[in-house]
Structure 1
Amino acid sequence: VRFSHFSCTISFLKFLMLFAQDSDSDEEYSEGAVGDPQMDFLKNFFSRTLGLGGESQQKSLEELSLNGVAKYIQSEKCKNIICMVGAGISTSAGIPDFRSPGTGLYDNLQKYDLPYPEAIFDIGYFKEHPEPFFALARELYPGQFKPTICHYFIRLLKDKGLLKRCYTQNIDTLERVAGYLTTCKCVLFIYFYPRKNTHHSFSPLLDIVFFGESLPARFFSSVQSDFPACDLLIIMGTSLKVQPFASLISKVPSSTPRLLINKEKAGKRYLSVPSVLAMDFDSEKAYRDVAYLATCDDGCRKLAELLGWKEELEEMVKHEYAKIDSSSATGAASSQQRQPKGKTEAKADTTKPRKNNLAIAE
């Protein structure tokens, strides 16, 4: 009787798998979610756990290590790399992340008297109380930050024709400064500027989205086309706790290797990442996920060394920093020349580090 029940269960699961596969061809991505979460969950669960109608768990890496990833990148199999990045790739530039105890943004918003830290980026709270957001916005871009080694490693992937796209949660614009434009923003808030002579009317300043608003349609169309073609997913500087960004790790084929470069392991078993979609670094069934625990800069520097790109990366950073410094000096000189006679421009205090130069990531 038990065997009969088991056979019936398997038959029913196979039927659901066929239904799930058929539904993919008839439905498009909605603007409020990355695909159908329930259907994605069913398909991944059945294909990975029961081996029904899914891809086999073939190993693409010789070893589950950074060295194994480097060898894979050098092979003919790796042609389309997707990067998923968060605030951790910018912290070495002097930009705080969100969640680090003591130094993160969410631990330093007491002066705004918020009901909870995330409220400052919530569209509902913003419509009623825009003042805290505008006060913080004035602190976001007072100075010029330089891209990090991690940013330039991604640029190197782009220059070598390996970067499919970079999905970023950051609004610090350092990806653009670093020189790679194949990005897809996944941040969850947007800047607004108040229009003159109005009380509740706002116009967009940057192409970013508040908590509580839908991501743009191009985000979902990019996900739909990019991830099935991904040969390697590199995740850096993110806790993978915010949706829909966190669920993107499950969109690549089941044979695609996934590398996490972060100070701590992420994407394992959180409420936002169901266990069958989570990354598996340590179990006996692990076959494609690699965690390299380090700062993003150190991880990228080590990976570049294993790839034989270390000197090229260092030369790129040196050259680009010189360009930024030269541009800054030219801009400062031009500003001084345009200054009216008889007025002296107040000089910024450079003796103390700026603690409020914040950029928002996840």
Structure 2
Amino acid sequence: MKSVTDLATLARFILSSDCQSIVILTGAGVSVASGIPDFRSPAGMFDTLRPELIPFLKTATERQRKLMALDPTYVVERGMFLENSFPYLEVRRPFILGVRDKKWKPTIAHHFASLLHKKTNKLTRVFTQNIDGLTYAVNLPEDKIVSVHGTIGKAGCETCGQDMDFKNFCAEVETKIKDIYSPDLGPKESNHILCQCCGNATVKPKTVLFGSSLPTEFFDKAAQDLPTTDLLIVAGTSLVVSPANSLVNNIPSDTLRVVINNEPVGQELGIEYGTNTKRDFFARGDCDKVFMDLIDELGWLTDLNGETNNLPEASVQLIKAKLRR
């Protein structure tokens, strides 16, 4: 295995016969350019349930409101949802309807996966930890994508597993779930969205709630893909959430690992940084900028420029600036 020291040598490796199977693991950082906040950044999940909004969650019990005030992630905890589905649906209402309305566009990072598949046929899988559904918006075959934590873009019952048409679900959310962010919009009070199969008020986007098991697809595809992976690209993730972060260690010892992120991650998992490492390459920077530069090194910038109608404005401006140079 030859060491990679820059994006040019990475591009040459991707195009070489030594590289036949590429796996990508993505986190919230690849969607930031679309306008979807990182989990821990301002307006992310930790900021979404602001203290001043908690009183508006009148459907929650006092105990539930206290738990959410202490830790906003309780709003996506399975036990909480099964007790009372309203807090989750009220907090998630703008996100659910925004996905329906295609409020956010896939970024350069998402388009890289699509170009990689079309240009080389070496993309084995994208394991995405994101629930925004943007990986599906770049015309990748669905069997190339594993949504590790589920997706907002599909709906079903948490109790019995029965699927619900997403557009019908969104119509129910729009007319039955209170908008706690803009109280003048939508209904004055929330009403239950009932499962047509089991009758429980536990219909929600098909995301994995805290306390739930991951889809078996994650474990099945990881076991299938990783033994023959030549290149693992880790992008926009802190690598602190298991078992998704296990991918970096469940690949052959000679598999090249590339980290694309604003800061080093995964040292506790054995990823090495510095000039002496041969297996790991760190491409520091915003995901969109790094992936654009990699696409340029691969000779695919013209193809990327042809996707400007399906890119957020921030990504389009990056491409235009690159082409002017």
TM-score by length of 1: 0.64
CA shift for structure 1 position 215: 1.4
CA distance in structure 1 between the aligned counterparts of 2:197 and 2:138, rounded to whole angstroms? 38
2:273 aligns with 281
1:118 aligns with 73
Note closer, same or farther for the CA distance 1:204–1:95 as it changes in structure 2 (3 Å cut).
same
Gaps of 5+ in 2: 55-64, 158-192, 313-325
The residue correspondences of 1:73-84 to structure 2 (distance < 5 A) are 73-84=14-25
Residue 84 of structure 1 aligns to a residue whose secondary structure is strand
Q: Which runs of 4+ in 1 moved over 3 A?
A: 188-194, 196-200, 202-207, 319-322
Which of the pair is proportionally richer in strand? 2
Q: Does 1:60 align with 2:2?
A: yes
Please say which of residues 67-76 and 103-112 is displaced more in the overlay: 103-112
Note closer, same or farther for the CA distance 1:224–1:154 as it changes in structure 2 (3 Å cut).
same
CA distance in structure 2 between the aligned counterparts of 1:287 and 1:296, rounded to whole angstroms? 22
Letter in 2 for 1:106: F
Which of 289, 292, 295 aligns to 1:304? It is 295
Deviations 1:331-360 (A, max 9, x none): xxxxxxxxxxxxxxxxxxxxxxxxxxxxxx
CA distance in structure 1 between the aligned counterparts of 2:311 and 2:246, rounded to whole angstroms? 35
Deviations 1:290-346 (A, max 9, x none): 11111111011010111121222222x236469xxxxxxxxxxxxxxxxxxxxxxxx
2:45 aligns with 105
Letter in 1 for 2:85: P
The residue correspondences of 1:74-223 to structure 2 (distance < 5 A) are 74-100=15-41, 102-110=42-50, 111-112=53-54, 113=65, 114=68, 115-140=70-95, 141-142=97-98, 143-144=101-102, 145-160=104-119, 161-180=121-140, 181=142, 182-187=144-149, 194-195=193-194, 201-223=200-222
Residue 207 of structure 2 aligns to a residue whose secondary structure is coil
**Structure number with bigger Rg:** 1
Please say which of residues 223-232 and 302-311 is displaced more in the overlay: 302-311
CA shift for structure 1 position 128: 2.5
CA shift for structure 1 position 204: 4.8
Deviations 1:62-94 (A, max 9, x none): x33322211211210111110101111111111
Please say which of residues 171-180 and 126-135 is displaced more in the overlay: 126-135
Letter in 1 for 2:207: I
Residue 90 of structure 1 aligns to a residue whose secondary structure is helix
CA distance in structure 1 between the aligned counterparts of 2:88 and 2:156, rounded to whole angstroms? 9
% identical equivalent positions:
33
CA distance in structure 2 between the aligned counterparts of 1:205 and 1:104, rounded to whole angstroms? 20
CA distance in structure 2 between the aligned counterparts of 1:130 and 1:199, rounded to whole angstroms? 15
1:339 aligns with none
CA shift for structure 1 position 207: 3.5
Gaps of 5+ in 1: 1-58, 270-276, 323-362
Note closer, same or farther for the CA distance 1:278–1:202 as it changes in structure 2 (3 Å cut).
farther
TM-score by length of 2: 0.71
Note closer, same or farther for the CA distance 1:152–1:220 as it changes in structure 2 (3 Å cut).
same
Note closer, same or farther for the CA distance 1:156–1:267 as it changes in structure 2 (3 Å cut).
same
Note closer, same or farther for the CA distance 1:263–1:197 as it changes in structure 2 (3 Å cut).
same
Note closer, same or farther for the CA distance 1:195–1:304 as it changes in structure 2 (3 Å cut).
same
Letter in 2 for 1:120: V
